[in-house]
Amino acid sequence: MREKIAVVGSGMAGLAAAWYLGDAHEVTVFEKHPGAGIMAHGVEAEAGRIDVPLRVIYPGYYPQLFALLREAGVRVEALDASLSFTDAGGRCFFRYANHGLGGKTLPMVSARALLNPDAWRIVRDLARFMWQVPGELAQGQLKGHSIGDYLSGKGYSPAFTEGFLIPCFAGINTVSNDHVRATPADVIAGYFSRGFLFSRVYRAVGGASAIASALSRRITHARFGESLQGVRRDGQGVVVQMQDGVEQRFDRVIFATQANQVSHLLHDIRADERAVLEGIRYDKVEVLMHRDPRLAPAQRATWSPVNYMLSDKHDRPMITIWVNALIPSHASTPEPVFQTLNPQIVPDESLVLQRTTLERPIVDAHSGERLAHLDALHAEPGRRVFFCGSYAANGIPLLESATASAKAIARRVGDQLR
């Protein structure tokens, strides 16, 4: 049976939902931005559009996304995502380079760098972590522990904990250090055990624009630049009311927005739906596009594609991505272009290209319970309203969980119709 399905939002989850459902149903996508939401904050530069935020992926942790991109004909390209770590005094205390070996990489720390005691402790504890954690994860020994408590209890050094792992995941999930410390240990271990450090990282060739263009092929009606007054269920389906008051009825509606935006749009939201969705917390992150090298490491010789700058005065690292070094198409641009998360230095305003504030879902000890409740809601017979997004699947809230949650909704719809 061919249904009329509305998807609200066109980030990764909304586009994936439209793709998975669009071959069998009439799919209308509503998006408040003038184009697909996944590319809403990008910046035009000399060598092409730069995504905000930049998105890199690797096969071990993003299997469903890679499968979707292959199916949609989106090409990917390998990147060099080498890292540097600098302290508040401007000292680069740890840095490694990635050497590609087919589909793998070998992170290399120079012998000279290992003369630094902090670097040696990081390498020693990282080797221990990579060796022990996969087995502990498989045996369920990490359940019920936060990563902060786990690292403390196992005696990992402050150099590794506070100088590498915590800031690393503050960057990957773009949340504060405290939120990382409270993240369940099995979530962090799951990311590490699927090839982090030893798998090549990739991006879609053309970035978010290429993903949006490919996945939009299965959208029947794209209503970009369309804000909604609200959504409500009735006995015949789900009614979507546009900003001008015009109403349209659908068989089902999929909310692919942030969880904290649903209650403003779903006018007849139930108490149990509200409890699940409003229980998902968000953290804010500022993203600065600019050309100011003062937000990069002080020593130009230590610049890497991704640079972490740590300070005890701030609750999260400042992370400056050297776009020219990360994205191949920007390598020949003469002037440096940077994307900085959590800027902690006031930039030269003449060198600022764009400021953006984003919200990121927080994973905590209760996330698994909330996801189980969400799954129970979706399993209700005759359900017509669904919720998907990076927050709505297990793991770190990234493009993979957004894709996985959309695919799960498409499967639910198919099961109900059968």
With bands split at pLDDT 50, 70 and 90, how would you rate the model's confidence at 97?
confident
Instruction: Report the pLDDT value the prediction gives residue 239, as an integer from 0 to 100.
Output: 98
pLDDT at position 307 over 70? yes
Phi-psi region of 87 (alpha: psi -120 to 50; beta: other; left: phi over 0): beta
How does pLDDT run across 146-191, given as a tens digit for each residue?
999 999 999 999 999 999 999 999 999 999 999 999 999 999 999 9
Instruction: Report the pLDDT value the prediction gives residue 193, as an integer from 0 to 100.
Output: 86
With bands split at pLDDT 50, 70 and 90, how would you rate the model's confidence at 111?
low
How does pLDDT run across 186-195, given as a tens digit for each residue?
999 999 888 7
Query: What is the overall mean pLDDT for the chain?
Result: 94
- Rounded CA separation 201/62 (Å): 10
How does pLDDT run across 10-53, given as a tens digit for each residue?
999 999 999 999 999 999 999 999 999 999 999 999 889 999 99
Instruction: Report the pLDDT value the prediction gives residue 105, as an integer from 0 to 100.
Output: 66
Instruction: Report the pLDDT value the prediction gives residue 198, as an integer from 0 to 100.
Output: 73
Residue type, 92: C
Asked whether the beta carbons of 122 and 163 are under 8 A apart, the reply is: yes
Residues 6+ apart with CB under 8 A from 102: none
Instruction: Report the pLDDT value the prediction gives residue 261, as an integer from 0 to 100.
Output: 97
Asked whether the beta carbons of 321 and 338 are under 8 A apart, the reply is: yes
Instruction: Report the pLDDT value the prediction gives residue 104, as an integer from 0 to 100.
Output: 67
Tokens at 330, concatenated: 């920007």
How does pLDDT run across 310-333, given as a tens digit for each residue?
999 999 999 999 999 999 999 999
- Rounded CA separation 265/228 (Å): 7
Domains and CATH numbers, the chain: 4-45+205-280+366-417 (3.50.50.60), 76-203+282-361 (3.90.660)
Helix ranges restricted to H, 156-289:
158-160, 166-172, 177-181, 185-192, 207-215, 262-265, 271-278
Q: What is the Cβ-side half-sphere exposure of residue 64, based on CA atoms within 13 angstroms? A: 18
Residues 6+ apart with CB under 8 A from 140: none
Phi-psi region of 287 (alpha: psi -120 to 50; beta: other; left: phi over 0): beta
The verdict on whether omega for the bond into residue 184 sits within 30 degrees of 0, i.e. cis, is no
Strands 43-45 and 48-50: antiparallel
- Helix (H), strand (E) at residue 353: strand 352-361
Q: In the chain, what percentage of residues exceed pLDDT 90?
A: 88
How does pLDDT run across 387-417, given as a tens digit for each residue?
999 999 999 999 999 999 999 999 999 888 7
DSSP 33: S
pLDDT at position 106 over 70? no
Instruction: Report the pLDDT value the prediction gives residue 415, as an integer from 0 to 100.
Output: 80
Radius of gyration for the alpha carbons in the chain, expressed in angstroms and rounded: 22
How does pLDDT run across 340-360, given as a tens digit for each residue?
999 999 999 999 999 999 999
Judged by DSSP in three states, 302 sits in helix
Strands 282-290 and 352-361: antiparallel
Least Cα distance to 211 among 360, 342, 62, 337 occurs for: 62
Tokens at 169, concatenated: 């995941």
Least Cα distance to 37 among 17, 12, 5 occurs for: 12
The partner residues of 306 in beta bridges, in order of sequence, read 83, 321
> Token match 């090298």: residue?
293
Helix ranges restricted to H, 139-233:
147-153, 158-160, 166-172, 177-181, 185-192, 207-215
Instruction: Report the pLDDT value the prediction gives residue 225, as an integer from 0 to 100.
Output: 96
Contacts of 166-173 with C-beta under 8 Å, sequence gap 24+, read 167/85, 167/308, 167/310, 167/316, 167/317, 168/83, 168/308, 169/396, 170/316, 170/317, 171/306, 171/308, 171/317, 171/319, 171/341, 172/396, 172/398, 173/360, 173/363, 173/396, 173/397, 173/398
- Rounded CA separation 335/368 (Å): 45
pLDDT at position 101 over 70? no
From the number of C-beta atoms within 10 Å of its C-beta (0-12, 13-18, 19+), residue 285 rates as buried
Least Cα distance to 169 among 150, 201, 192 occurs for: 192
With bands split at pLDDT 50, 70 and 90, how would you rate the model's confidence at 1?
confident
Q: In the chain, what percentage of residues exceed pLDDT 70?
A: 96
How does pLDDT run across 41-90, given as a tens digit for each residue?
999 998 899 999 999 999 999 999 999 999 999 999 999 889 999 998 89
